[in-house]
Amino acid sequence: MRFLVVMVIIASFSQFALAKGLVVSTHPLYLIAQEVTKGVEQPALLLTPQQSGHDIQLTPKGRQMVQDADLVIWLGKQHEAPLQSLLSQKSNAIALLNSSILKTLPQRDVKGRAIANSIDTHVWLEPNNAIRIGFFIAALRSQQQPQYKAQYWQNAQNFAKEMLAVSRVVNKNSRPKNYWAYHDAYQYVERALNLQFAGALTTDPEIPPTIAQIQYLMVNKPQKNMCILAEYHADGHLIQRLAPVTTVTVDEAMANENNFVIGWKKLIKSIQQCLH
């Protein structure tokens, strides 16, 4: 069934004879797309690298980019809800979370409990998902620009080899390591690192942690010194109320990176340093 859905999506793009350009919504997708289109075209980034699905502010220029593009790749309303009204009715806008190509996990609440009928949208952090996204973009662009099919597919294969090579040499912990997150965004790397999620301070990086949640984490601390994965804007004073803690600044969107594989490797290294 999944294969059939993917083939229907790809086949639908044969109607586009003249390509105007590829637009991708967020920075992680842009990093993957530029690897696939290397030597053929330069994808355009709709949102700034610092913008996430939580804080979208689309400019008139961005709206024009969408209007002019012949292919728009976005994660979907679950991650980028403000884009839904603009993209949901466009036949050339593909929501990856609706494409059936990705392995997804449910969202978790701040206590680590799975939320029914939900999706953790940080799917690009799972190496196999990143690779699937790369091949999916290659397939769609090859349909639109068949003269570059060989280059797109070769680029996707090269990206897959690099991603797999890096992910396979990750030093997995011999026993599960407990950690906290400022907000739960790192579920897709837990298996690779043998991590055990013990809770988050908040469900959304834009929403301050509650006193009740701080107290919950203190009472249910699985070990004396905890590792906290926190974004650069996290409230350091609130984090220190959980001391003793080891805090590492991480960015699941890799906003300051120019290469996906290198950015993923740096993120993993930062997490590992926090745990040791």
The pLDDT score that the predictor gives to residue 140 is 97
pLDDT by position in tens, the chain (length 276): 554 445 445 545 444 434 469 999 999 999 999 999 999 999 999 998 988 666 677 888 999 999 999 999 999 999 999 999 999 889 999 999 999 999 999 999 999 999 999 999 999 999 999 999 999 999 999 999 999 999 999 999 999 999 999 999 887 777 889 999 999 999 999 998 999 999 999 998 888 999 999 999 999 999 999 999 999 889 899 999 999 999 999 999 999 999 999 999 999 999 998 987
Q: Would you say the CATH fold of 177-275 matches that of 2-111+119-168? A: yes
Q: d(Cα 269, Cα 36) in Å, to the nearest integer? A: 25
The pLDDT score that the predictor gives to residue 206 is 83
Burial pattern 91-107, b for ≥16 Cβ within 10 A else e, equals ebbbbbbbbebbebbeb
The pLDDT score that the predictor gives to residue 4 is 45
Q: d(Cα 106, Cα 252) in Å, to the nearest integer? A: 17
Tell me the H-state helices in 108-148.
127-144
Q: d(Cα 139, Cα 146) in Å, to the nearest integer? A: 10
Cβ neighbours for 130, distance < 8 A, ≥ 6 positions apart: 32, 124, 163, 260, 264
The pLDDT score that the predictor gives to residue 247 is 95
The pLDDT score that the predictor gives to residue 2 is 52
Q: What is the dihedral of CA 112, 75, 250, 27, to 10 degrees?
A: 180
CB 181 within 8 A of CB 197: yes
CB 214 within 8 A of CB 242: yes
Residue 69, judged by CB atoms within 10 A of its CB (0-12, 13-18, 19+), counts as buried
Residue 203, judged by CB atoms within 10 A of its CB (0-12, 13-18, 19+), counts as middle
Residue 254 backbone class (left: φ over 0; alpha: ψ -120 to 50; beta: rest): left
The residue extents of the domains of the chain are 2-111+119-168, 177-275
Phi, psi of 233, deg, nearest 5? -95, 5
The pLDDT score that the predictor gives to residue 109 is 97
What homologous superfamily does CATH list for 177-275? Nitrogenase molybdenum iron protein domain (3.40.50.1980)
Q: d(Cα 104, Cα 125) in Å, to the nearest integer? A: 11
CB 189 within 8 A of CB 126: yes
Integer Rg of the chain from CA: 19
The pLDDT score that the predictor gives to residue 187 is 97
Pick the CATH number of 2-111+119-168 from 3.40.50.1980, 2.40.110.10, 3.90.280.10, 3.20.20.70: 3.40.50.1980
Q: d(Cα 124, Cα 133) in Å, to the nearest integer? A: 8
